[in-house]
Amino acid sequence: MYKKILVPVSFDNDRDAAGALEVAARLAGDEAEIVLIHVMEQVPSYAISYVPQDYLVESRQAIEAELREMAGSVPKGSSEVVDGHSGRTIVDYAEKNGVDCIVMASHRPGMADLLLGSTAAQVVRHANCAVHVIR
């Protein structure tokens, strides 16, 4: 069993966070910590002037609240919202925080989605720990 499992959560409609949490809980056993993480990517400078001033703050607060609620549904769950590029930030977070397994959702299968999503593919290729991708 794993000791520290990282579950990256995307709030896109085509991601299965519940499935990833279920798998993480099964892999965790009684002792493992499960950390839910959401990476907030930077709004490009050319678009920032079109975003309402309070949007980023309110969006982050809403994501933090929802992630905390999700983390409360798993034993030894915690949550964290970080800034950065999704793939690279997930890999870096795992390395810096002693994560030994990453469980993440990718595209749901379909004719247009035969390959892993770009974030999942980057994590699979660069993580120094086990990675379970849920489709």
In this prediction the pTM is 0.88
Mind listing the pLDDT tens digit for each residue in 31-85? 899 999 999 988 887 888 888 878 889 999 999 999 999 999 998 999 999 999 9
**pLDDT tens-digit readout, 90-132:** 999 999 999 999 999 886 555 444 555 688 889 999 999 999 9
**Confidence (pLDDT) at 17:** 84
The CA-based diameter of the chain, rounded to the nearest angstrom, is 48
CB burial of 50-75 (b: ≥16 within 10 Å; e: otherwise) equals eeeeeeeeeeeeebeebbeebbeebe
Q: Does domain 4-111 have CATH number 3.40.50.300?
A: no
Which residues, other chains included, contact 18 with Cβ-Cβ below 8 Å and sequence gap of 6+? none
Q: What confidence tier does 9 reach under pLDDT thresholds 50, 70, 90?
A: very high
